[in-house]
Amino acid sequence: MAMNASEGYNQALSLFSSLYEDMAASDLPEGLSPDNQDIVYLPGSVGTRPAFNRTLSQPTPEPTSDTMSLTEFAMPSGEFLRIWLYSSGNLWQQPSTGGSPTQLGSITVGSRFCSVTAFDKQWFAFFNQNLSNAFSQSPFCGADVPRYFDGQNVWRVTQDAPGVPPTFTEVPTLPVGLAQTSPTGTLSVTTVVSSGAKVFTIQVPHHTLSEIIYTSLTYTCTGAVPLTWLNTQITVTGCTGTNSSLANTTGMVIAISGSTFTLGVGTGSIRVNLTSQSGTATLPGNYFTRSANIVTAYFGSTNLPNFQAGLYAKIFNLNNSQINGPNWTITAIARDTTGLVTVTISTQLTNLPSGTLLFISATDTTDFPPGYHQVFQVISATGGTTVFTISDPTWGNGAVATSSGGSVYQTWNGTFQILSVGVDANSNNFITYFQLGPDANLTSTGGTPQAQLEAQIPPGPRSAVLMFESVNGAITPASVPIQLSITGGPNLLSAQDILIGPPGTAKRIIAFTPAFGSSFFYVSPAVIPSVAGVSPVLSLGTIINDNTTTTAILDFSDSQLVAGTPIDVQGNDLFNQIVLAPCLGCIEYEGRMCWWGEVNNLKNLSNMGFDGGYNAPVGVCDTNGTAVAWDSGDLFSTFAAGASIVINNISYVVQSVADRQHLTLTTSAGVQTGVTFTLYSPTDQPPPGWTIPPGVFGFATLVASDSANLGFAIELFGIGGSTDGIIVQPAVQDFFGAPIVVPSSSYLVRLQAKRIGSSTVGSLVVDLFSPSTGLQITATFPRAGMPTGSLGWMVAPFNAAIPSTLPSDTLFRIYLNGVLNTNRVIVDELSIIDASKPVLFQQLRVSYFDNEFGYDQTTGVIGIDSAAKITALLKQRSYLFALTDGPMYQTQNNGQTEPNGWGISNFADECDCFGPNAVTATEDIAWWAGRSGWKVFSGATPKKISQEIQPTWESINQSNPTSIWALNDPEERITYLGVPRNGATKINFILPMSYRSVDAAYNVPDPIHTSYSGKMIATDLCRKWTRWNAPMNCAAMLTNPDLSRQIYFGGQDFGNFYSLNPAKYTDDDYGQIFSFYTTYFFFNHDIEQNAPGLGLHRKLDTYLSAYVTGVGQIQVTPLVNNLNNPWGPIPTAWDSVNQKWIPSGSPTGMPLVPLTLANLLNDLEWPLNVRGLRVAYKFAPVPLAGQTDAAFLLQHLVLTAKQDAVTPVRGSNL
Amino acid sequence: MPVQVAPYPTVTDALVAARVLCNDAAQSILGDILASNQPFVLPMCDLAHKTLRKMLTRAGVNTYSKYGFVSNLVKVATSDPTVQVQLSYTGYFDGITERASPFLPADLVEPLEIWERQNGTINSWQPVKQASDSISTRAQVASFGIWDWESDILYLPGATQANDLKLKYLYATPRLTDSAQQIPIADCEMAMGALIAKILSQSRGGTATQTFQVWAESEVGLLISPTSRKEQYGAYNRQPFRGTRARRRR
């Protein structure tokens, strides 16, 4: 029977649409596919998917690791960083523009992250079902400490409050005597000439005016001018002759040359060319000088203890007499009809500002009673006189009056805020402060001038707390408060023992209550510059702007304090702020960070992460080269090697520590004796907030944690005892009286630990112990089960529930039991978890507004009233939606309250989500995957759009749901879903859904719709599913160097991640792509009924032609009647032994046809001899021998068939 | 080493031919509809074989005759000359008594020629004449002399001695019950195949039935050609009307 296209029915197929499994394959309408894989859809065609193209050059940082998670950080600089997490737990980054990958840190092995870019940082919630199984029956919870990346380092999102507040003392201040400046002296001036001439020209009509201005005066003296006069104020007097008043002046020596000096006259430039003046130049030695309202007070060589800008100093004469300036003679004083008094004095003042307070003592005491008055306006200051006005309607009788005689002076004493402290070129210590007044020097005060610091802080009781602030502005919870009793006045408040924060700490903040107050505030340092005759204001603040200072003088007024930042108000309550436990996921919403799946640990134990700072040893030492010997104060820390030590204000690095009194530096400190030191090492001390009970042995010390940016850990030393290295803290009530451990409850202990030392004997014990009753409830961590390399998470339950009555002296203790000498255990991230509810499944933890580091125990909580567990969050049009393993909830920022005041309501039922990464939201549309299917959501009803692949969906292994990921590629308009199928525990399939032919992302029509006549029809304008065999653990949209965006997939086993490259036809690392596309089963019943010679029963397919291009060869396989019945002829051979024809070998497919990427001149053709009721055609590319490249693109096909003339029915079921 | 077989095809050979003709070997020579495990395949082969046999017989092909022997037909038990003895498939009637043996060969369809001789001797076989109409009454002698075939019973006049019979007869071919079974017609695969295909197609409503019918007849025609040619070369003596049928001496 010749197989050709004659006498047959021909049908063309150019619609290659979605995989559709949820309908019997035989019933699928024309254009749908009952089976396909590793293909992509284009309108009118279908072909092999692009190959996975490795991103990292070989060898990758970890060539055998899985890439567990992948994300992109769009840095504020405009740079894009690719960040990925290996199965080893190592976090890496690489700029999108290339370069060597850099390791950012380490997380627990096998973890994944949920990440989001917000607040110019990249945030990470880490989850790991293997870890969380140890304490939670549900996988929807976090496993490791939440972290963020700031572009430089990875930090914890939150950390412990300082373990203890500073201690405070009051430092009495003593008066410090002022001293006249040095040098002093007198020189005879023989001549004075104008200098610094500048010619000014002015264009006026018809001619040009020019004038010479002299900016300085040069004096010639009888002898050499001391160079020490340079930059000092001197006064020239005694000059006579024309314009001598111009020569008799006070000014700054701006140049010295031999026997001449030059005074700058500045704005008082003169137009007269002085010549041949003579007189005396005097460098008097000033107590005070004032220039432009800034007074400089001089102290000679006297040290100024505690004097610093921002503090206030009282200026006074020792005998309490007033410090008055020179008397200026009143030549005229008159009050006009408006009451304005005009005063003329016989002295030409420089820079007399309005507002200057002057004591005016006129001869006419009737009209002008003596008293202090402020200058209202300066009329003139020229020609040896100064005219100014006083506007004071209360002065005198107000009558119009004219008089003369009397004097005016200014009082210099008072209390002023120090603007600066310094030493001038002549070694005069000085302070500056603001006082309105003319430029002047005061060489005498009429007494012994003094300056004494004066505290602004009002007397009375108050409280203080300490917080750490990180380099990124993260402020920790407040320490427990300490009460102070302030006397103020001449006593300065000094903070002592200010804890040094963990790595990443940039500042320490001390907050106070006002005197007799209860609310806490802190004050940021600030400078309000001087304007319009008003003094500048320096706010010293209560922030220590470093992480090294251990003592500080603090001074503020209560008005300053309460104008500062409150820390115990809604929205910033550092007393209610918590350390965020491991969380499942994170998202940014309306200026807040939101987390969920948080481990339910006790929040009000102290310093459980051991990051509550440390006390830096401070003392006195001697140095001799690199050798340092302790003299007094705190002993050296034993494990301080590598730490920095500041000796006499110079920083060095400790190379080794011989004992607690001797250490060696890496560089020489010279020979010094009795110099101060501060050693920045946390070792040799228990963590603040914990105490060591008296009479115990062993040793506990802070040490650096595995990862520096995770702060400190605690190291316990065993000596074979039963409570070695014990540290304790209260377990019943916290500082504020709130309960900690709740009676009748059960708890688990979770911590990170590792053992050091070869012995596996003994254990780490965490217990609750009452000294009075002997109650002891223990959780035991055997050393034998501890890792030895890196810290590893461990969980152990307490061996009994908490009794209904808990003794008030119950302590929370941690120690070693039976651990042999020289063996140690390092512990970190200690937490006590409620065993009955180990995870806050129904709760969102939301940060304060615009404070991504602050999470409130009460107001930062949004809870759902359900047993469902929150698995993911998404935001859409200002709403925040919580997806669970059941219903879906909706909440919204109400703009008025903290999150606990926001309403949350059930939005829809049965629209569950697999996990934090199983949701993808772009274009204001969200998609997510859950047990019930793949949902699309635009704010209305969630819509399931995966029914057509329901059999595939049912093959998803849901035992590790948080590993499932989803991502939308808005550019290619494909959503991707990574799932483990068919019992696999790792992702082994990607389920892409193309919606590129759909008008809107939300409007993704079903691949089948019903015609007006009720027939099922498939079109190209629909969603299209397929399956990719791809072991990809994660995916992310990443930015390419050319700023285009593209999807990348994190793969297994090769430590790489991959883009899709349509120009490649073999997957990097994973090899051949086994793609295929199966058409629908020809022919649909309509065609069968209407086509001549086709019939409804068996047909004989006789010819196939198709436009197929690609690489390799194309294998066409007819699938007869069902998908599992490939038409594979078996060769026939003659059995010469048994003398008969027999089948020989395996079924053979149709002949392979070579493919080309070029345009085809003719369609490819296949003669057929295929009989069946219905036949689908499977197109699969096959590589050439010895190659792996195989890809196809099918655009069109035509099938010829006719009714089976011999057996239109088989007549049998065999 | 090839086994020694007769020139007869097996049922499988016929089926292979049928599969090829029906395009049922497109995937495998073992067939689909005509696969050996189909319940109708062997019966279909059997039917086709019967049809083929009939067609061949109708065309005069003597492939289906053979010789047989029946011993010890005892003398007639009565002297009544009108009594005839009867040899049937179930026994022998001696005129008085129905005996369990001897009996006719089970595969005998119709006797063609019969010879006799006295039982227990090595005498030559003497022809027994077929009655042209019926056996007339005659005196009982030692031999039968004449036979008649009525109602699947061989009638003979009573003989006064025990005799043996040699028969040439049309035999019933064995049913095709196994695919390895040989079909006792040389080179009949195509004919069988066409007949099987015809039956198959006809039973399934195929439009190719007539094609296969024509094909089968053509193949049968090819099968009988050698016989025709052979008989054209043989010597024949025309018998007078009502005489004995033309036959060769054996």
Which residues, other chains included, contact A342 with Cβ-Cβ below 8 Å and sequence gap of 6+? A332, A333, A334, A335, A336, A379, A387, A388, A389
Residue A1: per-residue pLDDT: 45
Q: Cβ(A744)–Cβ(A804) under 8 Å?
A: yes
Is it the case that residue A356 has pLDDT exceeding 90? Answer: yes
User: Quick check: A1211 and B2 CB within 8 A?
Assistant: no
Mean residue pLDDT across chain B: 86
In B182-211, the residues whose Cβ lies within 8 Å of chain A are 197, 200-201, 203-208
Contacts of A1169 in chain B (CB under 8 A): 23, 26
Range B178-206 average pLDDT? 91
Angle at CA A727, nearest 5°, toward A724 and A729? 150
Contacts of A1211 in chain B (CB under 8 A): 33, 40, 200, 203-204
Mutate to test the interface with A, among B8, B15, B21, B27 (most CBs of A within 10 A): B27
Is it the case that residue B6 has pLDDT exceeding 70? Answer: no
Is it the case that residue A201 has pLDDT exceeding 80? Answer: no
Q: State pLDDT tens for residues A1053-1070.
A: 999 999 999 999 999 999
Q: State pLDDT tens for residues A1082-1104.
A: 998 888 988 888 889 999 999 99
Angle at CA A649, nearest 5°, toward A644 and A650? 55
**What are the structure tokens assigned to A698, written together?**
């062993």
Of A211-225, A1035-1049, A1172-1186, the one with minimum mean pLDDT is A211-225
How far away is chain B from the Cα of A1139, in angstroms, using its nearest Cα?
7
Mutate to test the interface with A, among B10, B33, B178 (most CBs of A within 10 A): B33
Query: Residue A347 half-sphere exposure, CB side, CA atoms within 13 Å?
Result: 17
Measure Cα distances from A994 to A16, A947, A967, A1057 in Å.
Answer: 12, 15, 12, 22
Is it the case that residue A995 has pLDDT exceeding 60? Answer: yes
User: Quick check: A1170 and B26 CB within 8 A?
Assistant: yes
| pLDDT higher at A1047 or A195 | A1047
Q: Cβ(A213)–Cβ(A251) under 8 Å?
A: no
User: Quick check: A1139 and B208 CB within 8 A?
Assistant: no
Neighbours of A309 (CB within 10 A): 17
Contacts of A1 in chain B (CB under 8 A): 23
Q: Does A1117 touch chain B (CB under 8 A)?
A: no
User: Quick check: A1210 and B28 CB within 8 A?
Assistant: no
Nearest residue of chain A to residue B35 (CA atoms): A1214
Backbone φ and ψ for B56, nearest 5 degrees, come out as -70, -40
Q: Which of B25, B29, B205 sits opposite A1208 (nearest CB)?
A: B205
User: Quick check: B23 and A1171 CB within 8 A?
Assistant: yes
Residue B239: per-residue pLDDT: 55
Q: Which of A1128, A1138, A1205 sits opposite B27 (nearest CB)?
A: A1128
Q: Does B32 touch chain A (CB under 8 A)?
A: yes
Q: State pLDDT tens for residues A80-121.
A: 999 999 999 999 999 999 899 999 999 999 999 999 999 999
User: Quick check: A1210 and B204 CB within 8 A?
Assistant: yes
Q: Cβ(A248)–Cβ(A238) under 8 Å?
A: yes
Range A948-971 average pLDDT? 94
User: Quick check: A1209 and B204 CB within 8 A?
Assistant: yes
Q: How far is CA A425 from the centre of its chain?
A: 45
Determine what percent of chain A is predicted with pLDDT higher than 90: 74
Q: State pLDDT tens for residues A34-80.
A: 999 999 999 889 999 999 999 999 999 999 999 999 999 999 999 99
Residue B241: per-residue pLDDT: 55
Nearest residue of chain B to residue A1136 (CA atoms): B2
How far away is chain B from the Cα of A1114, in angstroms, using its nearest Cα?
20
Range A332-349 average pLDDT? 92
Mean residue pLDDT across chain A: 92
Range A420-433 average pLDDT? 92
Measure Cα distances from B116 to B100, B108, B140, B248 in Å.
Answer: 20, 17, 16, 17
Q: State pLDDT tens for residues A685-736.
A: 889 999 988 776 667 888 888 876 778 999 999 989 999 999 999 999 999 9
Q: Which of B13, B26, B38 sits opposite A1140 (nearest CB)?
A: B13
Q: Does B27 touch chain A (CB under 8 A)?
A: yes
- Spatial distance between the Cα atoms of A1118 and A1174, rounded to a whole number of angstroms: 10
Q: Cβ(A433)–Cβ(A418) under 8 Å?
A: yes
Q: State pLDDT tens for residues A135-186.
A: 999 999 999 999 999 999 999 999 999 999 999 999 999 999 999 988 888 8
Residue B3: per-residue pLDDT: 46
User: Quick check: B197 and A1170 CB within 8 A?
Assistant: no
Q: Comparing C-alpha atoms, which of A1006, A1014, A1007, A1018 is closest to residue A13?
A: A1018
Give the global pTM. 0.83
Nearest residue of chain A to residue B212 (CA atoms): A1206
Is it the case that residue B5 has pLDDT exceeding 60? Answer: no
Confidence of residue B229 (pLDDT cuts 50, 70, 90): low
**What are the structure tokens assigned to B48, written together?**
């086709």
- Confirm whether the ipTM is greater than 0.90: no
Confidence of residue A521 (pLDDT cuts 50, 70, 90): very high
Q: Which of B16, B27, B37 sits opposite A1214 (nearest CB)?
A: B37
- Spatial distance between the Cα atoms of A504 and A468, rounded to a whole number of angstroms: 10
